[in-house]
Homo-oligomer: A and B are copies of this chain.
Amino acid sequence: MQFDQGYDVIVVGGGHAGTEAAHAAARMGARTLLLTQSLESIGQMSCNPAIGGIGKGHLVREIDAMGGVMGRAADRAGIQFRTLNQRKGPAVQATRAQADRSLYRQAVRSLLDEVPALSLFQDTVHDLIVEHDEVRGVVTGMGLELRAAAVVLTVGTFLGGTIHIGDHNRRGGRAGDGPSIALAERLRAMPLRVGRLKTGTPPRIDAASIDYRSLNAQPGDDQPVYFSRWSRGDEHPRQVPCHITHTNADSHAIIRAALHRSPMYSGEIDGVGPRYCPSIEDKVVRFADRDGHQIFLEPEGLDTREVYPNGISTSLPFDVQIAMVRSIQGLEQAHVTRPGYAIEYDYLDPRDLHPSLESLQLPGLLLAGQINGTTGYEEAGAQGLLAGINAAARAGGLTPWVPQRHEAYIGVLVDDLTTRGTREPYRMFTSRAEYRLHLREDNADLRLMPVARAYGLISDAAWRDFATYRDAIEAERRRLEKTWIRPVDLGDDHGTRQLGQPLRREQSLMNLLKRPEMDYATLLSLPGAGPGPTDPAVCRQVLIGARYEGYLKRQSDQVARQARHEDEPLPVDLDYHSVAGLSAEVCEKLHHHRPATLGQAGRIPGVTPAAVSLLLVHLRRGRTRQSA
């Protein structure tokens, strides 16, 4: 049975990847269908009710600069906002928000509903339509055939999902939702590499059963913080604090005594779990000398009594979960509302993808989100955005967008995935980016809005706004460079008071701004320096540009140097053993991965910059020889 005339893009899955993908494709004008198991669970947060954090907040700002959903939804649903690393450099400062689960779902749904070219449909995909080795659509559980120029698969943890609690296990895509078995079997029958990963979630606790008197509260920031440049500043609902408690020696003893009943240690689970988001049993085993781990008690929303105890993800048997929870200060009488559990699921090896996220083996199929071996809403959303854009690009005959590592964390993410693959759930960290100082939260819009505009994701009005902002930064930079202050303008006293020392010779305002102790307000208070821009964001950009000028320039030079070699092709038949100076181990690795370019070679784990230089020398020599 065929349904309708067909679509440009079909997105399968209404999670964080799927909603960004569908939103982006439809905003580009592609007739888009978002097909998901249950329309009720669109935008559902499967695990912790929070968006952002270090590295992740960066992704949210990038998604937002591209006109995406996540930042705006988090602004409407966030019940506690914080800027992390406020005392550190701007590269690692990041925004994090606790979210009200139900408000978050609502916000996502209503942002999708604003896009005319986007249609929703509730059904489960059981198969792909493959014709002439290309993916041309999907077949649903109801037997519908739906056709499209591109299909984006974003089925998260649902493929062949198995839920574990102690030695009890059952099929499921997430607690309360069925797994995707038929589709998993079909994908395993296709020429795709499939692996198995796992992740986990903590038990939830009834706030009414928590004794908060003994716990420290952690409020959000005083100043309102926003993820989205599209938010007007009145979107936040009521703000609430979190509370902090800790596991202790008793909790750890309870866990140790029960390890043989944990599905992870008894051998029940094969899938590899996220190293950076370990279960509490992992932490107790791996950090055996620590006798306490911090737990944030995060409210699940404004209108619910459920609390998410961040830090005790577990798949121990339920009786052990209860004993462990009740050994913790403040939780002595805790009522658990949902058990913690681990989930094992199929993922597809992302090395089988182009950096556009399109399948190497099956053109027309794009993959995004947890299915590519990542973990986290932000990682999923970022990939979804990219895949959505590239699906619409395919349908509309445009060049795909392939962000580079120095342009965006999204570039780092897909480059890492598609060239290195992953053997454990991959999450974003600022340390994964070489050009951190360029990839700040605060300049995500400056980096990406021009791209977004080129792909038709930014309205005329928004683009005018942005241009005004960008021009204001440029104008202010020029103004500061051209405005000079002389010692006589200040007088000794004045100079000492405001500059911390007398001004010895004439200086441009820009040079003064570069001084580490200078802030913008002080600068503008100097005679003839004010009034300056009204938008504090403009000042911030100028300040960061001035203060980190040296570092930024050094990184730009590196990018340029890198770029020169990045695309240098490595011959397919290159005999790495013939490359002088390479260690046996590096040879082995290169031989195994067969990178297409020098850039890719350099990103294979274990291949050092020195090895890359040797490769470069080898290539040069080869060329000289050839041309000789």
Binding site for B on A (CB under 8 A): 1, 3-4, 37-41, 44, 102, 105-106, 109-110, 113, 116, 119-123, 141-144, 165, 168, 170, 175-178, 206, 208-209, 303-306, 317-319, 322, 335-339
Contacts and interface: CB of A to CB of B under 8 A. Distances in A.
Contact of A303 (B40, B106, B120, B335): B106
A208 B115 CA distance: 10
A176 B106 CA distance: 18
A176 B337 contact: no
A165 B142 contact: yes
A303 B110 CA distance: 5
21 contacts: A1-B317, A38-B175, A39-B176, A39-B337, A39-B338, A40-B41, A40-B176, A102-B105, A102-B109, A109-B304, A113-B303, A119-B209, A119-B337, A120-B206, A120-B337, A121-B338, A122-B338, A142-B165, A142-B339, A143-B168, A144-B318
Nearest to A206: B119
Contacts of A110: 303-304
Contacts of A319: 1, 3
Nearest to A111: B303
B175 A322 contact: no
A521 B1 CA distance: 65
Contact of A3 (B102, B109, B123, B318): B318
A178 B177 CA distance: 8
A179 to B, nearest CB: 10
Contacts of A336: 121
Given A40-B176, A165-B142, A175-B122, A102 B113 contact: no
Nearest to A172: B178
Contacts of A120: 206, 306, 337
A122 B123 CA distance: 24
Contact of A113 (B121, B177, B305): B305
Chain copies in the assembled complex: 2
A318 B1 contact: yes
Q: Is the interface of A mostly helix, strand, loop or mixed?
A: mixed
Closest 4 CB pairs of A and B: A38-B176, A110-B303, A122-B338, A113-B305
Given A141-B170, A168-B143, A303-B110, A121 B38 contact: no
Contacts of A113: 208, 303-305
A303 to B, nearest CB: 4
B176 A41 contact: yes
Between A4, A143, A305, A322, the greatest number of chain B beta carbons within 10 A of the residue's beta carbon is seen for A305
A75 to B, nearest CB: 15
A140 B505 CA distance: 81
Contact of A122 (B4, B105, B176): B176
A261 B119 CA distance: 27
A144 B614 CA distance: 62
Nearest to A141: B170
B176 A119 contact: no
A125 to B, nearest CB: 14
A319 B142 CA distance: 11
Nearest to A123: B339
Given A122-B175, A337-B121, A106 B116 contact: no
Contacts of A304: 109-110, 113
Given A3-B319, A38-B177, A39-B338, 13 more contacts: A1-B318, A38-B175, A40-B40, A40-B176, A116-B208, A119-B335, A120-B206, A120-B306, A121-B336, A122-B338, A122-B339, A123-B339, A144-B318
Contacts of A317: 1
A178 B175 contact: no
A304 to B, nearest CB: 6
B121 A37 contact: no
Contacts of A170: 141
Nearest to A102: B106
Contacts of A122: 175-176, 337-339
A5 to B, nearest CB: 11
Contacts of A39: 176, 306, 337-338
Contacts of A41: 40, 176
A27 B231 CA distance: 42
